[in-house]
Amino acid sequence: MRVLFVVQRYGAQVPGGAELAAREFATRLAARGHATEVLTSCAVSYVDWANAYPPGTSMLEGVLVHRLGVSEPREDRIFGPMHARVPFGRHRVPPFLQRDWMRVQGPHMPGLVPWLREHATSYDRIVFFTYLYFTASAGLPAAAGLVPTVLHPTAHDEPPLYLPLFDLMFHLPSALAFLTEEEAELVADRFHTHIPSTVTGLGVELDTAVSGTDVAAYRAGVPGLGERPYLVYVGRVDPGKGSVELFDFFAAYKRRNPSDLALVVVGDPVEPMPPHADIFITGFVPEAEKRAAMAGGLALVQPSYFESFSLVLIEAWALSKAALVQGRCDVLEGHARRSGGGIPYRGFAEFEAAVDLLVGDPGLAAALGRQGRRYVERHFDWDRIIERYEDFLDRIGAPAPAVSP
Amino acid sequence: MDPPETTPAVGDLLDRLRARVEERRASGAYPPGLEHDLDVHFRHIVEHRPVRNLEALHTAMATFEEGLAFDAAEIPTGSRVPGGTLLHQAAAKLVTRQTDWIVQQLREFAESVRVMLWAMVNTFDDPTHVHAELTAQIDAILDRLAYYERSAADAPMLGEIVRRLEKLEAAETARAERPEP
């Protein structure tokens, strides 16, 4: 099967859950013998979409990658106020302004639509990742109808999802693919679509043993951390990710409960954060170091309000680590309840009580970690996911009735 | 031999955790304003989530459901007049066939109303319930309005329209003030 993935960013240096998911699916389909290609931008960072990779075609992990240049970087001076008015504004804004917001949000690639119109029919399936960006917003209407298409919305319950701009998009693809049941429910509630769909999930590597030496080396590499127990947060430091709230909660916790407990943040702040004696921000680190950071922690904290899957949570469970998760995010709460591997908290009082529970009972953290690991083994094995995904892609091409999950 | 593994249930943990929070709250462990201040990020997020409040409608439906028990036996036959109760009971017996028929018709009618009302409530409750044609019209009007508001190229044309309007108004004023021939 010849499959094209269309995604806003793609590459070994590109962080981001949806982008990683696209890369995993593309790479693993290629490894199973499918002619897999990717159409993407030259950007690495979504903050400005600056062209970092050269335009043109290259090969990455067995996947042919076509990169188109971004015509203009995202300027916060323009995008910031627009973002505040369009998805976050109190009033409905006219369609032209929604379209302008999409263009300014980017990555604006004038070559995208002509490229798809010219090449779409040479593929058996075209798969779009992430509803939110220009790549799907402009690309899906260009390809739909020419070839069977799949949209992985990676949707969160966030204000942009409610923009009328997206009403049509969710009715265009031949099928929808979701990362969790909660994401599927959210999209069904919002768009009332009746097109075929499946819940794919995402896989993780289960052979992720981290040695004590790796953890010790990680601790030694974080000045001032020493042997202190710590909670770990992995991801972007961004208000939308709940990390700013986590900073506030943790600082309040430490004021009220003095101890040597620390918070280690593995990720780059979108905006500079005020320094705190108990919070260690290490920035993005290589994969092995990230695993060591998670393995050395008491528990992972996942405070995000907007998750369609949370790969980092699954990775922590693969390492048999307990988790504290945002209870006001249906996806995270669903994972925690199904797995028995995490404690969902709602608000500071519950956060404080949950941290107390974990700090006061190391056996509890270990037991939660074990249950998390079992959950991952049951549901997130890549081989099984890719087999189901191949079957799904096969079936959406057939003129037969609906595809069932 | 390894000790048996404990398997904590998340529901039980949450019960423990919330009980602890309630105890602390009751004991004044959270200073006034602490939780509210720390919830600022959440409030910022939820204020953008669409909320449908159909509680009043559901309460009215519950009251409606309670009133659906039509029964001829519920028609009172008691009387303060001597012998009145016997008379009412006899009359009721005499017209049993008719009252039963009327009650049956009422039941069927109420059931169809009930079905219809629930269908309407469920339609309102559907988060995707929109008036597509109205939405499209509003969008079109908003687009045109915004076009006029922001289009610098049209400013001279708008100015011309305003001038012509003022001329017409002045002419109308002059016409109204002219004495009748």
pLDDT at position B176 over 70? no
Check B25 against A349: CB less than 8 A apart: yes
Check A242 against B41: CB less than 8 A apart: yes
Per-residue confidence (pLDDT) for residue B3, from 0 to 100: 44
Mean pLDDT along residues B14-40: 89
Band (A273; pLDDT cuts 50, 70, 90): confident
pLDDT at position B122 over 90? no
pLDDT at position B1 over 80? no
Mean pLDDT along residues A311-326: 94
Band (A399; pLDDT cuts 50, 70, 90): very low
Total number of domains constituting chain A = 2
A-chain residues near B126 (CB < 8 A): 192
Check B38 against A347: CB less than 8 A apart: yes
Chain B: closest CA distance from residue A299 (Å) = 15
Return the structure tokens found at A58.
């290259």
In a domain, A294, yes or no: yes
Same domain? A143 vs A108: yes
Per-residue confidence (pLDDT) for residue B177, from 0 to 100: 57
DSSP code for B128: T
Same domain? A229 vs A197: no
Per-residue confidence (pLDDT) for residue A10, from 0 to 100: 97
Q: Is the distance from CB of B128 to CB of B50 less than 8 angstroms? A: no
Measured in whole angstroms, the distance separating CA B161 from the mean position of its chain's CA atoms is 44
The residues near A370 (Cβ < 8 Å, ≥ 6 apart) are A320, B5
Choose between B66 and A317: higher pLDDT. A317
Phi and psi of A159, rounded to 5°? -50, -40
Looking at chain B, the number of H-run helices and the number of E-run strands are 8, 0
Band (B54; pLDDT cuts 50, 70, 90): confident
Q: Is the distance from CB of B9 to CB of A338 less than 8 angstroms? A: no
Least confident range of A165-169, A360-364, B53-57: B53-57
Host domain of residue A356: 212-379
Bond into B4 cis (ω within 30): no
In a domain, A355, yes or no: yes
Check B17 against A96: CB less than 8 A apart: no
Check B10 against A344: CB less than 8 A apart: yes
**CATH number of the domain encompassing residue A363:** 3.40.50.2000
A-chain residues near B127 (CB < 8 A): 189-190
What is residue B88's three-state secondary structure?
Answer: helix
Same domain? A231 vs A197: no
Chain B: closest CA distance from residue A131 (Å) = 18
Same domain? A27 vs A65: yes
pLDDT at position A372 over 90? yes
Of A97, A336, A353, the CB nearest to B21: A353
Chain B: closest CA distance from residue A250 (Å) = 11
What is residue B118's three-state secondary structure?
Answer: helix
Per-residue confidence (pLDDT) for residue B49, from 0 to 100: 62
d(C-alpha A356, C-alpha A352), whole Å = 6
Mean pLDDT along residues A171-183: 93
Choose between A72 and A356: higher pLDDT. A356
Return the structure tokens found at A208.
């992720």
Same domain? A131 vs A250: no
Q: Is the distance from CB of A271 to CB of A331 less than 8 angstroms? A: no
Same domain? A320 vs A274: yes
The whole-chain average pLDDT of chain A stands at 90
In a domain, A240, yes or no: yes
Same domain? A46 vs A188: yes
Mean pLDDT along residues A296-319: 92
In a domain, A287, yes or no: yes
In a domain, A404, yes or no: no
Nearest Cα residue to A348 out of B11, B34, B71, B106: B34
Secondary structure in 3-state letters for chain A: CEEEEECCCCCCCCCCHHHHHHHHHHHHHHHCCCEEEEEEECECCCCCCCECCCCEEEEECCEEEEEECCCCCCCHHHHHHHHHHCCCCCCCCCHHHHHHHHHHHCCCCCCHHHHHHHHHHHCCEEEEECCCCHHHHHHHHHHECCECEEEECCCCCCHHHHCHHHCCHHHCCCEEEECCHHHHHHHHHHHCCCCCEEECCCCECCCCCCCHHHHHHHHHHCCCCCCCCEEEEECCECHHHCHHHHHHHHHHHHHHCCCCCEEEEECCECCCCCCCCCEEECCCCCHHHHHHHHHHCCEEEECCCCCCCCHHHHHHHHCCCEEEEECCCHHHHHHHHHHCCEEEECHHHHHHHHHHHHHHCHHHHHHHHHHHHHHHHHHCEHHHHHHHHHHHHHHHHCCCCCCCC
Return the structure tokens found at B109.
């009618």
Mean pLDDT along residues A360-378: 92
Choose between A156 and A250: higher pLDDT. A250
Chain B: closest CA distance from residue A358 (Å) = 11
pLDDT at position A301 over 90? yes
DSSP code for B68: T
In a domain, A223, yes or no: yes
Q: Which percentage of chain A shows pLDDT scores above 70?
A: 97
A-chain residues near B139 (CB < 8 A): 94-95, 164
Check B41 against A244: CB less than 8 A apart: yes
Of A192, A249, A349, the CB nearest to B30: A349
pLDDT at position A192 over 70? yes
**In chain B, which residues touch A (CB < 8 A)?**
5-11, 13-14, 16-18, 20-21, 24-25, 30, 34-35, 38-39, 41-42, 45, 48-50, 126-128, 135, 138-139, 142-143, 145-147
In a domain, A402, yes or no: no
d(C-alpha A191, C-alpha A165), whole Å = 12
Closest-CA residue of A relative to B126 is A189
Closest-CA residue of A relative to B41 is A245
Neighbouring CB atoms inside 10 A of A385's CB total 19
Of B10, B24, B146, the CB nearest to A343: B10
The whole-chain average pLDDT of chain B stands at 79
Same domain? A189 vs A238: no
Same domain? A329 vs A217: yes
Secondary structure element (H or E) that encloses residue B165, with its range: helix B155-177
Same domain? A99 vs A39: yes
The 10s digit of each residue's pLDDT in B63-75 is 888 888 888 888 8
Least confident range of A113-122, A192-201, A357-366, B38-47: B38-47
Q: Is the distance from CB of A351 to CB of A328 less than 8 angstroms? A: no
B-chain residues near A328 (CB < 8 A): 42
Per-residue confidence (pLDDT) for residue A340, from 0 to 100: 94
Q: Is the distance from CB of A176 to CB of A193 less than 8 angstroms? A: yes
Of B8, B41, B49, the CB nearest to A245: B41
Check B142 against A92: CB less than 8 A apart: yes
In a domain, A186, yes or no: yes
**CB-based contacts of A69-72 (< 8 A; 24+ apart in sequence):** A69/A41, A69/A42, A69/A109, A69/A111, A70/A41, A70/A42, A70/A43, A70/A106, A70/A107, A70/A108, A70/A109, A71/A108, A71/A109, A71/A110, A72/A106, A72/A108
Percentages helix, strand, coil for chain B (3-state, rounded to 5) are 70, 0, 30
Check B7 against A367: CB less than 8 A apart: yes
Check B41 against A370: CB less than 8 A apart: no
Mean pLDDT along residues A220-239: 90
Size of interface A-B (CB pairs under 8 A): 99
Of A162, A345, A348, the CB nearest to B50: A162
Per-residue confidence (pLDDT) for residue B149, from 0 to 100: 61
Q: Is the distance from CB of A44 to CB of A11 less than 8 angstroms? A: yes
Tell me the C-alpha to C-alpha distance, in Å, between residue A101 and each of A10, A65, A210, A320.
23, 27, 44, 42
pLDDT at position A321 over 90? yes
Mean pLDDT along residues B159-171: 75
Band (A296; pLDDT cuts 50, 70, 90): very high
Check B20 against A356: CB less than 8 A apart: yes
Same domain? A247 vs A180: no
Return the structure tokens found at A331.
């996806």
- Amino acid making up residue A269: P
Of B41, B48, B145, the CB nearest to A88: B48
Task: Write down the ipTM of this complex.
Answer: 0.71
Of A162, A248, A371, the CB nearest to B38: A248
Of B5, B25, B139, the CB nearest to A367: B5
d(C-alpha A22, C-alpha A38), whole Å = 9
Check A189 against B41: CB less than 8 A apart: no
Q: Is the distance from CB of A75 to CB of A105 less than 8 angstroms? A: no
Same domain? A225 vs A189: no
